[in-house]
Structure 1
Amino acid sequence: ESFSYDQEDKAYHYFMNEIGFTRALNEVINIVNLNREKYDHIFIIGFSIGATIAWMSSEYGVDGIIGFYGSRIRNHVEIEPSCTTLLFFARHEKSFCVLDLEEKLRTKQNTSVEIIEAEHGFMNPY
């Protein structure tokens, strides 16, 4: 199912109720595994929910991830990326303290965190 930009809340609830992070992660891992022989390197770029899924996949044989404002990463701080990981967060998030999350992530190997003076969604021109 697809959603327009003005249906952001509906899209988020659809994802959380109908798909979920575990199913999405399994699909990403499957795609990576199906394409591993075809490509020398596989990188994942994700935004918001996609950034959290990219973070979760960082332990499963990808070569690098870039994540933008993956606010649910805060629920998966136990992950130890086995690949180069670059995370961008907006300094101003409504649902959590970015600086608390940054403190937890900065000590992880292979992980760089950048805080941007902006709000969630800062890369989206719409």
Structure 2
Amino acid sequence: MIPAYQEHLKLLLERLPKLGFQLTKDNDYTAEFLGNDGWKIIFEGERYNHSLYGLWLVHTDSEGHTHEYVLWLLSRAFQKIGYEGYSDATLDGRLDWLEENTDKIFTSYRIYGQAYNELNKVKN
């Protein structure tokens, strides 16, 4: 990971193992964490504006379909179906929200999938 994202990586390495995720890939702009249940969390830093980054959750279901969720949009999908989204847009705040909603996110993805897809269509 380039120096601009070292603090982000350090925070991810502190927090994600507590949720069952281990670092599997680390290069200049991307860090990938794999959970015991097959979910992935991917951090990707922006190459030209080092204050920007994205955080994705990726899951392949039992039918072989891959589902990718951008964390900020997933938070909005949660709000749309009556759950709480994150209020602190920092990486630490996003990880707090992820930790608080672990059960809903990783075991009930079909519940929020439709709301997420509807929001994603509007954004694209």
- TM-score range (shorter-chain normalised) is under 0.3
Q: Quick check: which one's helix share is greater?
A: 2
RCO comparison, higher one (Cα < 8 Å, 6+): 1
| TM-score (norm: length of structure 1) | 0.24
| TM-score (norm: length of structure 2) | 0.24
